[in-house]
Amino acid sequence: MPPSPPRPTRILLLPALAAGLVLAVPAGPAQAQNFLERLFGIKPERAPPPTLRPPEGAPVPPAGVPEEPGQSAPEAARPAPVPRAPVVLKAVSEDGLIGQDLQLNGTTGSLKLERAGTGTTAAVTLPGTKISQPTESCSVKLGGGKPVALTSSGKPEGVPRFEAPAAECPLRLDVTEGGVLVTTLDAGQTCTFSAADCTTTPVGLWGPPAATLIPRAAEFDAARGVADKSVRDNYKLMTQRARREDVRPIVAEQAAFSADREQFCRSYAREGTHGFCHLRFTENRSLALATRLGANTATPTVTAAAPRRARPKPAVEGMNPDVGGGAAEPE
């Protein structure tokens, strides 16, 4: 019988090798696992870092916004403080307008205030369009060309107010610095003169021509910021003092203020360049609010701001939108 072939020694060595490895493994399950992983080249997956829960009451950042280390959550915007007392701008008098020739929107018509004893009169020429030919212009002199007597109504809204109730076109004149804010006493804004074949719309700011206002644009711009802030502050004070049921009309009035101002001033010549009408309309509104709050408008509480340096406007190709019109720049 032939001798059997010798068995491979490596098969016999595997159990011994395994036993030796087990004996060589350090004590402890974690150390044994690490030893075997290093021996056979197994790379364990890294466990995700623990998620730290923010303490109770801490602000939670919005989704998708990465947090930077050491960055604290932004504080909530604080509401603007409410003034303790009404803000009063410098009031004006009609004395500075006596004898000046004012024009509707700085372009057409004529309005001149004059003293007549202890009273005041106005020589007014209203511009309009013909009833029979709306494309043609016309004009009507109130009182047949004679000065119309004005009735003083005091300062119901913080500025001198005059009225001409007996005129063919009853007018109300609220004085402002350098001009007069004119409205009609009737419900409509137009006056019709059938005998003169003319219809007029006198509502608007009667003031100087645009050429005299443009050099003062920086002055008007600085004063406009002061006037706008005074209007906001006075409205805040009104809402704070008002009863709960009266707050809603005050908020609605403030919301409509910008639209009313734009409607009133959009036709003033070159308004987008100098901003004269927007400034005067805002100042009168601020004084009216201060009067409603019981303030003494004869004593101003703020001073005029210093004029800011005018910024050069970029060149516009083609027609200049400010030329020959009153289209105001959007706010």
Determine the pLDDT at residue 195.
Answer: 94
Q: Pseudo-torsion of CA 241, 243, 244, 250, nearest 10°?
A: -70
Q: For the chain, how big is the Rg over CA atoms in Å? A: 41
CA 100/CA 270 separation, integer angstroms: 20
CA 4/CA 137 separation, integer angstroms: 134
Q: How many CA atoms does the CB half-sphere of 319 hold within 13 Å? A: 5
Predicted confidence (pLDDT) per residue in 218-241, tens digit: 999 999 999 999 999 999 999 999
Q: Is the pLDDT of residue 50 over 70?
A: no
Q: Quickly state the pLDDT bin for 160 (edges 50, 70, 90).
A: very high
Q: Write the single-letter amino acid at 127.
A: P
User: Which residue would you say has higher pLDDT here, 61 or 138?
Assistant: 138
Q: Quickly state the pLDDT bin for 330 (edges 50, 70, 90).
A: very low
Q: Is the pLDDT of residue 122 over 70?
A: yes
Min mean pLDDT across 55-59, 161-165, 256-260 is at 55-59
Determine the pLDDT at residue 47.
Answer: 58
Greatest mean pLDDT among 20-29, 40-49, 135-144, 298-307 lies in 135-144
Determine the pLDDT at residue 64.
Answer: 52
Determine the pLDDT at residue 34.
Answer: 60
Q: Is the pLDDT of residue 11 over 90?
A: no
Positive or negative torsion for Cα 248, 252, 253, 254: positive
Determine the pLDDT at residue 79.
Answer: 67
Mapped onto helix, strand or coil, the DSSP state of residue 138 is strand
Mapped onto helix, strand or coil, the DSSP state of residue 179 is strand
The CA-based angle 230-269-136, given to 5 degrees, is 135
* Residue 213 CA from chain centroid, whole number: 23
User: Across residues 136-149, what is the average pLDDT?
Assistant: 96
In this structure, the strands spanning 148-152 and 137-141 are unpaired
CA 22/CA 85 separation, integer angstroms: 89
Q: Is the pLDDT of residue 307 over 90?
A: no
Beta bridge partners of 120: 115, 150
What one-character DSSP code corresponds to residue 73?
Answer: P
* Residue 136 CA from chain centroid, whole number: 38
Q: Quickly state the pLDDT bin for 321 (edges 50, 70, 90).
A: very low
What is the share, in percent, of the chain residues with pLDDT greater than 90? Answer: 64
Q: Quick one: 132 exposed, middle or buried, by C-beta within 10 A (0-12, 13-18, 19+)?
A: exposed
CA 195/CA 185 separation, integer angstroms: 21
Min mean pLDDT across 21-35, 146-160, 188-202, 302-316 is at 21-35
Determine the pLDDT at residue 301.
Answer: 93
Q: Quick one: 229 exposed, middle or buried, by C-beta within 10 A (0-12, 13-18, 19+)?
A: middle
Mapped onto helix, strand or coil, the DSSP state of residue 54 is coil
Q: Write the single-letter amino acid at 308.
A: R
The position carrying tokens 């010549």 is 269
Break the chain into its structural domains and give their ranges. 94-207, 210-292
Q: Quickly state the pLDDT bin for 324 (edges 50, 70, 90).
A: very low
